[in-house]
Structure 1
Amino acid sequence: MRRPTGPPTNRPTGTVDQPPAADRVDAVIVGAGLSGLYQLHRLRGIGLTTVVFEAGDDIGGTWYWNRYPGARCDIESMSYSYSFSPELDQEWEWSERYAAQPEILRYVHHVADRFGLREDIVLRTRVTRAVYDGPDHRWRLSTDTGRTVTARFVILTTGCMSVPKDPAIPGVDSFVGAVHHTARWPREDVSFAGKRVAVIGTGCSGVQAVPVIAADAASLTVFQRTPAYVLPARNRPLRATERSAFKAHYPEFREAQRRSRGGTVFAPPTRSALEADEAERTAAYEAAWDEGFLNGMLRTYTDILTDEKANETVAEFVRSKIRSIVTDPATAELLSPRTFPFATKRPCLGTDYYETYNLPHVSLVDLRTSPIERITPRGIRTSDGEHDLDAIVFATGFDALTGSQLAIDIVGKGGTTLRERWAEGPRNHLGLVSAGFPNLFTVLGPLSPSVLTNITVSLEQQVEWITDCIDHLLRNGLTEIDVTPSAEADWGARVAEIAARTLYPAVDSWYTGANVPGKPRVFLAYAGGLDRYREECDAVARGGYTGFVLSSPAGGPTTRPARPTTG
Structure 2
Amino acid sequence: MGEKKYDAVVIGAGFAGLYMLHRLRERGLSVKVIEAADGVGGVWYWSRYPGAKCDSDSIYYNFTFSEELYKKWRWKDRYASQPEILEYLNFVADELKLRPDIQFKTRVTKASFNNDRKQWEIATDTDETFVAKYFISGVGCLSTTNIPPFEGTESFKGEQYHTGRWPHEKVDLTGKRVVIIGNGSSGIQAMPEIAKEAKELTLLMRTPHYVAEARNKRLTKEEQDQAIVNYEDIRDSFTTTTGGIRMFTTGKSATEFDAAGQKEALDYVWESGGLALGSVYTDTGVNKETNFVVSQYVRDKIDEIIEDAEKAQLLHPDYYITTKRLIIGTNFYEIFNEDHVNIISLKENPIESIAENGVKLREGTIECDVIIFATGYEAMTGSLLKMDIQGRDGQSIQEKWGEGQDVKTYLGLTMENFPNFFMITGPQSPSVLTNMPAAIEQHVDWIDHCIEYLETNELQTIEAQKVSEVKWGKECDDLANSTLFPHTNSWYTGANIDGVQRGFVIYVGGLNNYKVICDKVADNNYEGFSFEKAQANVVLQ
On whether the aligned pair clears a TM of 0.5, the verdict is yes
Aligned to 2:539: none
RMSD of aligned alpha carbons: 1.3
One-letter code aligned to 1:395? A
Aligned to 1:152: 133
Indicate the SS of the match to 2:478.
helix
Aligned to 1:276: 257
Q: Which of 477, 490, 504 is 1:509 aligned to?
A: 490
Q: How far apart in 1 are the matches of 2:477 and 2:27?
A: 35
Identity %: 43
Aligned 1:367-406 pairs, distance under 5 A: 367-406=346-385
Indicate the SS of the match to 2:337.
coil
Aligned to 2:464: 483
Aligned to 2:338: 359
Residues 175 and 376 in structure 1, CA contact (< 8 A), matched pair in contact too: yes
Indicate the SS of the match to 2:389.
strand
Give yes or no for the alignment of 1:519 onto 2:500: yes
Aligned to 2:428: 447
Residues 63 and 437 in structure 2, CA contact (< 8 A), matched pair in contact too: yes
Indicate the SS of the match to 1:357.
helix
Provide the aligned length of Structure 1 versus Structure 2.
533
Residues 513 and 524 in structure 1, CA contact (< 8 A), matched pair in contact too: no
Aligned to 1:320: 300
Indicate the SS of the match to 2:323.
coil
Aligned to 2:283: 303
One-letter code aligned to 1:60? G
Give yes or no for the alignment of 1:350 onto 2:333: no
Residues 425 and 520 in structure 1, CA contact (< 8 A), matched pair in contact too: no
**What's the TM-score, normalizing by structure 2?**
0.97
Unaligned 5+ segments in structure 1 are 1-20, 556-567
Aligned to 2:443: 462
Q: How far apart in 1 are the matches of 2:70 and 2:252?
A: 35
Indicate the SS of the match to 1:343.
coil
Moved more, 375-384 or 432-441: 375-384
Q: How far apart in 1 are the matches of 2:364 and 2:140?
A: 39
Q: How far apart in 1 are the matches of 2:265 and 2:314?
A: 26
1:501 positional shift: 0.9
Indicate the SS of the match to 2:60.
coil
Residues 352 and 360 in structure 2, CA contact (< 8 A), matched pair in contact too: yes
Aligned to 1:408: 387
Offset from partner CA, 1:270-305 (integer Å, 9 cap, x none): 3221221111111111111111121x1122222211
1:22 positional shift: 6.6
Q: Which of 227, 234, 247 is 1:246 aligned to?
A: 227
Aligned to 1:73: 54
1:59 positional shift: 1.2
One-letter code aligned to 2:385? L
Q: How far apart in 2 are the matches of 1:330 and 1:268?
A: 34
Aligned to 2:418: 437
One-letter code aligned to 1:303? D
Q: How far apart in 1 are the matches of 2:251 and 2:232?
A: 27
Residues 137 and 423 in structure 2, CA contact (< 8 A), matched pair in contact too: yes
One-letter code aligned to 1:227? P
Offset from partner CA, 1:466-489 (integer Å, 9 cap, x none): 011011101111000001100110
1:554 positional shift: 6.0
Aligned to 1:421: 400
1:517 positional shift: 2.1
Q: Which of 313, 316, 320 is 1:333 aligned to?
A: 313
Residues 161 and 400 in structure 1, CA contact (< 8 A), matched pair in contact too: yes
Q: How far apart in 2 are the matches of 1:69 and 1:260?
A: 31
1:373 positional shift: 1.0
1:267 positional shift: 5.9
1:520 positional shift: 3.8
1:146 positional shift: 1.3
C-alpha distance 158-521 of structure 1, shift in aligned 2 (>3 A): same
Unaligned 5+ segments in structure 2 are 537-541
Aligned to 1:561: none
Give every structure 1 segment of 4 or more consecutive aligned residues whose post-TM-superposition deviation is greater than 4 Å.
Answer: none
One-letter code aligned to 2:309? P
C-alpha distance 179-266 of structure 1, shift in aligned 2 (>3 A): closer
Residues 248 and 269 in structure 2, CA contact (< 8 A), matched pair in contact too: no
Aligned to 2:209: 228
1:518 positional shift: 2.5
1:126 positional shift: 0.9
Q: How far apart in 2 are the matches of 1:553 and 1:520?
A: 41
Q: How far apart in 2 are the matches of 1:189 and 1:345?
A: 31
Q: Which of 166, 179, 187 is 1:198 aligned to?
A: 179
1:269 positional shift: 4.1
**What's the TM-score, normalizing by structure 1?**
0.92
